[in-house]
Amino acid sequence: MKNYIKHDEWNIIEEGFNPALNKVSESIFSIGNGRMGQRANFEERYGGESLQGSYVAGVYYPDKTRVGWWKNGYPEYFAKVLNAPSWIGIDVFVDGEPLDLHRLEILRFRRQLCMRDGYLSRSFTARFEDGREVAVEATRFCSLVDDECGALSYRISARNFEGRFVVIPYLDGGVRNMDSNYDETFWEYVAASTAPNRSVLTMRTKKTDFWVTTGMHYELLADEGRIQCSEQDVRRDDYIGKSVTFDLAAGQSIAVRKYAVVLSSENHPKADMEARASAMLDRVVAKGFDRMMVEQSEAWGQKWEESDIRIRGDIAAQQAIRFNIFQLHQTYSGEDERLNIGPKGFTGEKYGGATYWDTEAYCLPFYLATAPPAVAKNLLLYRYRHLPKAIENARKLGFDGGAALFPMVTMNGEECHNEWEITFEEIHRNGAIAFAIYNYVRYTGDDEYLADYGLEVLIGIARFWAQRVNWSEYRQRYVILGVTGPNEYENNVNNNWYTNTMAVWCLTYALEALTAVRHAWPAKYEAVITRTAFDERHETGTWETIVEKMYYPVDGERGIFLQQDGFLDKELVPAESLPAEQRPLNQHWSWDRILRSCYIKQADVLQGIYLLEDRFDLETIRRNVDFYEPLTVHESSLSPCVHAILAAKLGDEERAYQFYLRTARLDLDDYNNDTEDGLHITSMAGTWMSIVEGFAGMRVRDGRLHFSPMLPVKWQSYEFSIRFRGTVLTVKVSRSGVLLAHSGSDPLTVFVFGHPYRVPREASVELAGGQRI
Amino acid sequence: MKNYIKHDEWNIIEEGFNPALNKVSESIFSIGNGRMGQRANFEERYGGESLQGSYVAGVYYPDKTRVGWWKNGYPEYFAKVLNAPSWIGIDVFVDGEPLDLHRLEILRFRRQLCMRDGYLSRSFTARFEDGREVAVEATRFCSLVDDECGALSYRISARNFEGRFVVIPYLDGGVRNMDSNYDETFWEYVAASTAPNRSVLTMRTKKTDFWVTTGMHYELLADEGRIQCSEQDVRRDDYIGKSVTFDLAAGQSIAVRKYAVVLSSENHPKADMEARASAMLDRVVAKGFDRMMVEQSEAWGQKWEESDIRIRGDIAAQQAIRFNIFQLHQTYSGEDERLNIGPKGFTGEKYGGATYWDTEAYCLPFYLATAPPAVAKNLLLYRYRHLPKAIENARKLGFDGGAALFPMVTMNGEECHNEWEITFEEIHRNGAIAFAIYNYVRYTGDDEYLADYGLEVLIGIARFWAQRVNWSEYRQRYVILGVTGPNEYENNVNNNWYTNTMAVWCLTYALEALTAVRHAWPAKYEAVITRTAFDERHETGTWETIVEKMYYPVDGERGIFLQQDGFLDKELVPAESLPAEQRPLNQHWSWDRILRSCYIKQADVLQGIYLLEDRFDLETIRRNVDFYEPLTVHESSLSPCVHAILAAKLGDEERAYQFYLRTARLDLDDYNNDTEDGLHITSMAGTWMSIVEGFAGMRVRDGRLHFSPMLPVKWQSYEFSIRFRGTVLTVKVSRSGVLLAHSGSDPLTVFVFGHPYRVPREASVELAGGQRI
């Protein structure tokens, strides 16, 4: 755990430069707009440790899979988000020497991410060996308004000398992925063009043939008067730019404005990309940097208006939740149903930038509550579009008759992960994808989604489960053998309670959805039945039998659900007794030792209890939490939020707060020592859930919002807004009570601690029964 | 399954050339002498499908591991047997055109492995497009007598034309392994030298710096008179040879004799290798090809004298068992304790040529019974020398206090396999290594081996098991979680019966060995105790408790041992109901489907029953065989022999015979469609066991030999020799009875069907109780 980020309500601030933390900061200070993302690499070259990262949404590469021992059914490739030609680069030479903070003495350094207005700034003063001092002030952003554009301002000053400066704003197509399996390059040159102040470079990916055109246009602004400059084209290999030479007197400075556009062939005809890039450059250059900054600030203002959480009395917590919300918005805007949310967003290469079950399990609730319904719907449609590939995927694994297994990791619907214990066995992901449909319909009330899209997916998933179970003669029950549950510190176990429970939940929900759609939209129902060749009597009969006769492992004595068969054979030693130097376990123990231990990577039984909590009484929940929590090591970023929510539900404010902090500042404080690889974007949604579903206890039941708020002792108040069925509701929880306000024209009925309140446009809700908050 | 090898008692014969079978034949017709091995590649170039393979014992390469997802504790490299510079190559050009069977019309082709005399011959006639016909007769062998030498005779005839021939006997250091993980070359050039008729090439392996010097010396022999030749040196890159040009008239022929030596720096000082190669060449050239052939025949005669099995009435069975014995002798001579037996011997690259538990579980009995005791002892010493590395290996996995885990796959004692479910979890190998000590002592009576070497290994292994078990509060028993048993179609299971049983057997045997050594060799005992820092009271106490309180899964209702916890949850459908096109399962099913199925790759519970059979009554054995055999798919070559032996024990001659055939002709008939990768050398010892322990029912109990012979209905008789405690005993089983003869001076007491017989030098033993054979 590190602690070098300054606490501030709206800003992420790094003061002073520590090269050892540079890659961590490069992740933390990342910027993005849902279409593109950029790690906080320096504009000028840096000879020290750095992970260069510039990403374009939807552009991936099917890197040849690296496998030790091949298994039937493994995919041939692992799709990877691509490190794309970067738009930020400016090479700087001072009297012929490169400006490189790795070589210079750094007198002053500050990096700041302004979350309110959505930009990154950096300033430093550096000294050459002979005493010449150069200062730089750089600001940049990925525009929310012009979402294929980025812009930066790079002001450079000669502090105490007169010298010759060469700045080369450039585009470089010769980029690589650090995680290339066979050290291949993924890009090939297509074309480049040049015009005064402007360079345009088109590269294509090998195999997938995505084209990306990156264009730049630079301007120089002197502080006062004119400075004589000469421009020269620079070109070597896939590096293209403009070399600009000028002299600065002591104290004089000049600003380079670099406008950039990044176009992908996913959104533009290849033949037009170069022309469109130029036209787009014309447009933003005409608009100008300052105007773009203003628009950026307004667009972010709008996002904050709808999704900010304001915490009083705890700056660290305030900063953290805003950072999480900020990064989520930077990653996914929900406007394009082809896109999704990689676990690292656009902040690193790890996990290939592909889609995991994280999206459904953790991110969906955030977007449901903080964005227009179309955004969440697009996340669902993404899977709907992949249904044929999910059916094909299941077929490769021996299933038939339209059974669908959605991939563990994917870019385009095809599976691209290759660990048998995950790829083939972590099948609970199918449950999360079904549950997301339920969650969406429950939250939005958009029942018709089922008829149009949802039911078809549910049928595919239900068919999978119906084939994946088998009848145990011995138990006279259906069992599910050989799975990996959410707790990936167990592999190939039998009857994972969570998986069995979710399988039956899926079958039940599919049966309900069939009935609901049949009644409400008979024509659409018939169309689905025909499309899926659904055998109503036989298939529903089978599903009902499985629902009725599923086996679930339990420990009757303790009154808990058992994570899997045989769990009680383990030595049950609380995680707190583990020596600190052995944590995290996955960096210190061999895999077999982890597997046979009792330690739980992330919520597993508790994940099931979280999702289906209304089935369980508080005492059951408490017994399970009391049993599993001490064994949980939270070595997945997705774990603490579920524990936070359950702790809050059980009224354990202290633990809820601890888990909240752990999830909220995971990256800012680099808890797991891996932030340098990129931010834990998907778990950031879990942080939001920890507050809204945890502290505020928000639930939707029967189309109504429910809250059971608590207030961490350290906080004076917290306040958040959510969208719910056409209105924006603001909830403020303080010691003195709960304040509800909403934007709708009609009064809204909201339940607080189980009591219904009719909320006019703004109202302070008295707590029934005198609950203390 | 293929059926193209002609049935013959002493020869393996291929008539006609089928390019599609060439790689299979290259494996089957391999030659070797324990120091070197050579696949049956052609001497001349061949443009078709071929797996070039020339191997030098003990020379390996630590190829950089290829892993999809790294786990703590994985080794950095996978040691591979190296494809070494080949000594057989002769490039042939006829009037400037290469002689290449891939391009020519083949009029006649025959490949023959003469097992009695130990050589490979090949002859063919081939026609160029214009009608010129060339005939070749080639013979070669790896000398048993001069075990760093090979020799070949290559006679070439111009059948129907007069033409100019160029032959280039050469050495080529530019060889590669097909299975190189990153397409690296493993060899680097060191030096080459040349002299009339002679070339010498020294190459070194990267990383391991093994040097191999290959030398050749050629002679030309005309049929009659002299033929004018001119010799020229040829050299390009690492290819070195002699180009010899001559003219042949129609009907004329010439023979190239190529003598080769292969020296490894494992056996020679690097500085002397080149000189020694030349001296050795001088020696064998002086001896001459014909003399070498005679010596080869005599040496093989000696081997057959001691280890032949003669079957009357079944040529296919006779050929098969001889082929198995022949290949085992070609692979391992037992003279060098640094060497061991790779699953493919010197016949292919697969499995890296490294040592697996196969050696102890399958090969040791063969060498115990067919070779001087020093040979089996060397196999044991190999592991003894590796004990420190086994302790280090265990330490990497979290064990301490001298606990030893021998590697799953190794060249030098270090683990070099990287599948967690195998590397970390297939720990039953430790049991096989302990059992081999027991087996050796039981067979040879060499109790002192325990004092000198065995006990130390047993202590390391027992310590491992004592730490690897854990106490289950729930069961009030010790359990072993997260293992892979011999049946590798299950991974990460709990309480594999075989593993639990062998663990307790190891602890028990270690306790017995402690007692035995303490009494018989108190000084050696003290030395071991000191060396191992053994805590007598505490450690033996712990071991005794575990022995007493181990848990074993059973099915009380069926009266069988359960392969592992949860096995009865599976759908138990006999393997015979599997569609043929889905076999072998591992080529058609995804791994999860295999894992959750009931199908058993190779004997698991039955392996335990085989090893410890005296613990179980016949009915128990029968119940377990009846339960597990129908579920066993024998997709490991190591499986059928155990089933054959148990079937024989149960008196089921028909099944015993079927399993025998399956193991015996596995490679000759290419049962598993993988012979092209190399022969299944280690399972060949299982074939031998199927006859000697299966049909003949040989056992050693209390220092005495026991037999319970049966005779397959198709056979008239079978006869084999075994070494036992200083004598060679010959056993002949026919319808009329059992004939025993031995070489010892004193009468030998042998039990047949439980009745003791005193056998003088030669005796026909009457069967007691009138058992029918």
pLDDT tens-digit readout, A408-463? 999 889 998 889 999 999 999 999 999 999 999 999 999 999 999 999 999 999 99
Q: Are residues B279 and B381 in the same domain?
A: no
CB within 8 A of A514, min separation 6: which ones? A455, A459, A525, A536, A540
CB burial of A296-308 (b: ≥16 within 10 Å; e: otherwise) equals: bbebbeebbeebb
Cis peptide before A372 (omega within 30 of 0): no
The CATH number given to whatever domain includes residue B517 is: 1.50.10.10
Q: Are residues B765 and B686 in the same domain?
A: no
CB within 8 A of B686, min separation 6: which ones? B362, B637, B638, B640, B641, B642, B663
Least confident range from A756-765, B319-328, B688-697: namely A756-765
Nearest one of A516, A396, A526, A406 to A457, comparing CA atoms: A406
Is residue B6 included in any domain, yes or no?
Answer: no
Q: Are residues B296 and B336 in the same domain?
A: no
pLDDT recorded at residue A173: 92
Q: Are residues B687 and B625 in the same domain?
A: yes
DSSP-derived letter for residue B504 is H
Q: Are residues B571 and B681 in the same domain?
A: yes
How far, CA to CA in Å, does B161 sit from each of A322, B106, B168? 91, 17, 21
Residue with tokens 């105790």: B529
Q: Are residues B48 and B161 in the same domain?
A: yes
A-to-B residue pairs, Cβ atoms closer than 8 angstroms: 134
Q: Are A370 and A306 in contact (CB under 8 A)?
A: yes
What is the rounded CA–CA span in Å between residue A367 and residue A723?
9
* pLDDT for B486 beyond 90: yes
* pLDDT for B762 beyond 80: no
Interchain CB distance below 8 Å, B397 and A69: no
Is residue A756 included in any domain, yes or no?
Answer: yes
Q: Are B720 and B691 in contact (CB under 8 A)?
A: yes
Q: Are residues B454 and B335 in the same domain?
A: yes
Least CA distance to B588: which residue of chain A?
A72
A471 Cβ under 8 Å from any chain B Cβ = yes
Output helix, strand, coil percentages for chain A, rounded to the nearest 5. Answer: 35, 25, 40
A65 Cβ under 8 Å from any chain B Cβ = yes
Q: Give the pLDDT mean for A340-344.
A: 90
Of A488, A539, A629, A693, which residue is the catalytic one?
A: A488
Q: Are residues B580 and B715 in the same domain?
A: no
**Of A305, A332, A360, which closes a domain?**
A305
Is residue B318 included in any domain, yes or no?
Answer: no
Instruction: Could you list the beta-strand ranges (E) of A651-693.
Output: none
Least Cα separation, residue A374 to chain B (angstroms): 37
- What percent of chain B shows pLDDT beyond 90? 84
Residues 375-414 of chain B whose Cβ lies under 8 A from any Cβ of chain A:
396-398
- What percent of chain B shows pLDDT beyond 70? 99
DSSP alpha helices (H): ranges in B569-666? 591-596, 605-611, 618-628, 640-649, 653-664
What is the rounded CA–CA span in Å between residue A374 and residue A371?
8
Least Cα separation, residue A634 to chain B (angstroms): 18
Q: Return the biggest CA–CA distance within chain B.
A: 90
* pLDDT for A122 beyond 80: yes
Residue B477 in 3-state DSSP? strand
Q: Are residues B514 and B569 in the same domain?
A: yes
Q: What is the pLDDT of residues A346-393, one digit of tens each?
A: 999 887 678 899 999 999 999 999 999 999 999 999 999 999 999 999
Least Cα separation, residue B648 to chain A (angstroms): 32
What is the rounded CA–CA span in Å between residue B79 and residue B573?
39
Side chain identity at B271, as an amino acid letter? A
What is the rounded CA–CA span in Å between residue A405 and residue B178?
36
How far, CA to CA in Å, does B307 sit from each of A223, A291, B115, B763? 97, 93, 13, 20
Is residue A723 included in any domain, yes or no?
Answer: yes
Copy the structure tokens of residue B194: 């040349």
Q: Are residues B219 and B362 in the same domain?
A: no
| ipTM given for this complex | 0.91
> How many residues are given for chain A?
773
**Of B662, B695, B728, which closes a domain?**
B695
DSSP-derived letter for residue A353 is G
Is residue B531 included in any domain, yes or no?
Answer: yes
**Of B668, B695, B722, which closes a domain?**
B695
Catalogue the active-site residues of B: 488
Least CA distance to A471: which residue of chain B?
B571
Chain B residues touching A589 at Cβ < 8 A: 72, 398
Is residue A115 included in any domain, yes or no?
Answer: yes
pLDDT confidence band for A74 (50 / 70 / 90): confident
Q: Give the pLDDT mean for B615-644.
A: 96
Residues 572-591 of chain A whose Cβ lies under 8 A from any Cβ of chain B:
572, 586-591
Least confident range from A148-157, A280-289, B520-529, B581-590: namely B581-590
Task: Please give the residue that has the higher pLDDT: either A182 or B732.
Answer: B732
Residues 531-570 of chain A whose Cβ lies under 8 A from any Cβ of chain B:
565-566, 568-570
Q: Are residues B254 and B338 in the same domain?
A: no
Chain A residues touching B493 at Cβ < 8 A: 492
Domain limits for position A720: 696-773
Q: What is the pLDDT of residues A232-287, one digit of tens each?
A: 999 988 999 999 999 999 999 999 999 999 999 999 999 999 999 999 999 999 99
Is residue A287 included in any domain, yes or no?
Answer: yes
What is the rounded CA–CA span in Å between residue B247 and residue A712?
100
Least Cα separation, residue B570 to chain A (angstroms): 6
Q: Give the pLDDT mean for A306-322.
A: 95
Residue A179 in 3-state DSSP? coil
Q: What is the pLDDT of residues B152-167, one digit of tens each?
A: 999 999 999 999 999 9
pLDDT recorded at residue A185: 84
Rounded to 5 degrees, φ, ψ at B2 are -115, 165
Other C-beta atoms lying within 10 Å of the C-beta of residue A333: 20
Residue among B471, B571, B592 minimizing CB distance to A571: B471
What is the rounded CA–CA span in Å between residue A33 and residue B388?
57
Residue among B68, B566, B571 minimizing CB distance to A494: B566
CB within 8 A of B670, min separation 6: which ones? B1, B2, B24, B676
What is the rounded CA–CA span in Å between residue B637 and residue B327?
15
Q: What is the pLDDT of residues B91-115, one digit of tens each?
A: 999 999 999 999 999 999 999 999 9
Least confident range from B356-370, B489-503, B517-531: namely B356-370
The CATH number given to whatever domain includes residue A723 is: 2.60.420.10
Residues 750-769 of chain B whose Cβ lies under 8 A from any Cβ of chain A:
none
pLDDT confidence band for A772 (50 / 70 / 90): low
Q: Are residues B391 and B512 in the same domain?
A: yes
Least Cα separation, residue A393 to chain B (angstroms): 11
Q: What is the pLDDT of residues B333-343, one digit of tens each?
A: 988 888 999 88
Q: What is the pLDDT of residues B50-107, one digit of tens each?
A: 999 999 998 888 888 777 778 888 888 887 788 999 999 999 999 999 999 999 999 9
What is the rounded CA–CA span in Å between residue B201 and residue B607?
47
The CATH number given to whatever domain includes residue A227 is: 2.70.98.40
Is residue A567 included in any domain, yes or no?
Answer: no
Long-range CB contacts (within 8 A, 24+) of B656-660: B656/B690, B656/B694, B656/B695, B656/B710, B656/B712, B657/B712, B657/B713, B657/B714, B659/B690, B660/B317, B660/B687, B660/B690, B660/B691, B660/B694, B660/B695, B660/B712
How far, CA to CA in Å, does A474 sit from each of A249, B313, B438, B567? 89, 48, 38, 10
Q: How many domains does chain A have?
A: 2
A181 Cβ under 8 Å from any chain B Cβ = no
Is A488 noted as a catalytic residue in this protein? yes
Residue among B481, B569, B571 minimizing CB distance to A494: B569
Chain B residues touching A479 at Cβ < 8 A: 569
